[in-house]
Amino acid sequence: MASEITYAEVKFKNESPAPAVKGPPETKKPEQHPQKYPLWLPWLISLLLLLVCIVLVVVLLVVPFCHSSDQPSALQQQFSQWECDSAVPQGTDGGWTCCPKGWKRFQGSCYFLSSDTMKCAESAQNCSGMGSQLVVISSKAEQDFLSKLKNQQQKNQQLKRDNFYIGLFEKKEGQWQWVDKTPYNETATFWRAGEPSDGHDENCTVMHMPEESLNNWNDVKPDVPHYRICEAAAVIV
């Protein structure tokens, strides 16, 4: 008789359980708290915005009138009282055209007619000292304006029958030149009949006071005192 084979499950007490596989430890996320700003920060931002607005107003309104970004002209440095109007030449950005008080404006220039007399060189120096020059006449309209102006001043101030120096000089015999080097154009001159004369010592030019017509230029000796007409570019603001 064949013997039976019996199977039995044997458990050992000292057998240790299989180690559990552990994953990496979970990192704990820090708690997020709303960021806190100082209480004075909104006030600081508001103050900065206000300052920016003030600077913009100064740049847009004040600077153009003060010409703080540009060097003031010699004329501006000499005079503190000005007369302005809104008749602005075309092509300019400014809103006012200004001349020193007592000067007369025509187009883009300011003119000063003196009430005292000086010699030719002294007249040129006097105009330069005011930031201007003896007048340079370049058109019939300008000649007409100045002729009427000098006749009116003669009547209003009861000036003597003297003449007005202008900025035209005889550099060499028969070679006339304007004080600002503007080319001399014979077709745009206003000499009296028979002028300029052939005298070697008459190398300065005046507007003849008694002459009523536009052709009133006369060459004279430089050492004779006369009135003078100064001219400077008008200031546009």
pLDDT tens-digit profile, the chain (237 residues) = 444 544 444 444 444 555 555 555 555 555 555 556 677 777 788 888 888 878 776 544 444 444 433 567 888 888 989 999 875 555 555 578 999 999 999 999 999 999 999 999 999 999 999 999 999 999 999 999 999 998 888 777 766 677 999 999 998 888 999 999 999 998 889 999 999 987 778 999 999 987 778 999 999 999 999 999 999 999 988
Buried b (16+ CB within 10 A) or exposed e, 39-55: eeeeeeeeeeeeeeeee
Full-model pTM: 0.68
All domains in the chain, ordered by first residue:
112-230 (3.10.100.10)
Q: Is 230 in contact with 102 (CB distance < 8 Å)?
A: no
